[in-house]
């Protein structure tokens, strides 16, 4: 469900959980482990990519609707741990957003160092509210860091999905590239990082990302508990079941 491709010192982690690279506990866990493992294997940068046309569809709603409270709690703990790992990574991570990246797909990208999106009619954004899920505060904090308070409020509260062009305009992404060049561009960005004096880059990068990292200095247990609890709220369950039913009809077995 997660392919590892080495390109010299750059390690590509390719989401590979068909059909939509939707996030299960196992994929979130694998991603966290691989990001932590990369620098230990002497990788000096990471490209996080997806399938052509699909970066990640976010949480695997149909699958997760079958989780019990313990499993959901474990999933959110792991997701927070993944975001912490990304925020604290000692090596740069570029998101090669190869296609659709709603909800969790955008979350993963927004905790990377840099983002390039495939040109096309792809959707990006945090549509959690649209599917009945209050946006977890850590995710809002990551969004606000990129967009500023005004656009972050507008997009998050409205649960808006936007185009690559609009995402570039508001600062949710850094670049748009032709679909067949999006991974190459992420790779080139990593190479530009590796071409810099290593220590100067690394120390400055730590300073520039200290605000993101500091979010994880607080005790996040109460936040994670609240986020987990919100999954079982009647409105959320009703909306998610409707979403899952629609997905089921459209793709006949999305979460297989």
Which residues are annotated as catalytic? 59, 104, 127-128
Q: Of the two residues 29 and 205, which places its CB atom closer to a copy of itself in the complex?
A: 205
CB of 60 within 8 A of CB of 14?
no
Q: Of the two residues 61 and 147, which places its CB atom closer to a copy of itself in the complex?
A: 147
Q: How many CA atoms lie within 13 A of 181 on its CB side?
A: 8
Q: Of the two residues 131 and 176, which places its CB atom closer to a copy of itself in the complex?
A: 131
In this structure, what token pair is assigned to residue 156? Answer: 């998050």
* Smallest separation (angstroms) from a copy of itself to the CB of 102: 15
Measured in Å, how far apart are the chain's first and last C-alpha atoms?
Answer: 13
Residues that bind a copy of itself (CB under 8 A): 92, 113-114, 128-135, 137, 140, 144-154, 156-159, 171, 174, 192-193, 196-201, 203-205, 207-209, 211, 230, 233, 235-236, 239
CB of 128 within 8 A of CB of 57?
no
Q: What is the distance between the alpha carbons of residues 139 and 239, in angstroms, rounded to a whole number?
A: 20
Q: To which H or E segment does residue 83 belong?
A: helix 69-88
Q: Of the two residues 27 and 227, which places its CB atom closer to a copy of itself in the complex?
A: 227
* Smallest separation (angstroms) from a copy of itself to the CB of 252: 26
* Smallest separation (angstroms) from a copy of itself to the CB of 145: 5
Distance set, CA 235 to CA 109, 130, 224, 238 (Å): 28, 11, 19, 5
* Smallest separation (angstroms) from a copy of itself to the CB of 29: 26
């Amino acid at each position: 469900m997660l392919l590892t491709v080495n390109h010299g010192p750059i390690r590509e982690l390719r989401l590979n959980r068909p059909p939509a690279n939707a996030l299960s506990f196992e994929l979130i866990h694998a991603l966290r482990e691989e990001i932590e493992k990369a620098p230990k294997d002497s990788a000096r940068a990471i490209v996080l990519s997806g399938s052509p046309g699909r970066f990640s569809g976010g949480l695997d709603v149909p699958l997760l609707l079958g989780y019990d409270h313990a499993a959901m709690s474990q999933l959110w703990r792991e997701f927070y741990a993944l975001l912490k790992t990304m925020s604290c990574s000692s090596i740069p991570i570029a998101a090669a957003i190869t296609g659709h990246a709603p909800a969790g797909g955008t979350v993963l990208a927004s905790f990377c160092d840099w983002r390039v999106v495939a040109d096309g009619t792809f959707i990006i954004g945090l549509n959690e509210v649209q599917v009945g899920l209050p946006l977890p505060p850590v995710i809002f904090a990551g969004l606000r860091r990129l967009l500023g308070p005004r656009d972050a409020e507008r997009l998050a509260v409205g649960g808006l999905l936007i185009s690559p062009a609009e995402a570039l305009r508001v600062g949710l992404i850094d670049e748009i590239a032709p679909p067949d060049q999006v991974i190459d561009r992420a790779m080139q960005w990593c190479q530009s990082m590796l071409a810099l004096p290593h220590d100067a880059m690394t120390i400055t990068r730590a300073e520039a990302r200290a605000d993101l990292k500091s979010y994880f200095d607080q005790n996040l247990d109460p936040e994670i508990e609240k986020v987990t609890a919100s999954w079982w709220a009647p409105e959320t369950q009703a909306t998610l079941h409707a979403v899952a039913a629609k997905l089921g009809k459209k793709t006949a077995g999305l979460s297989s």
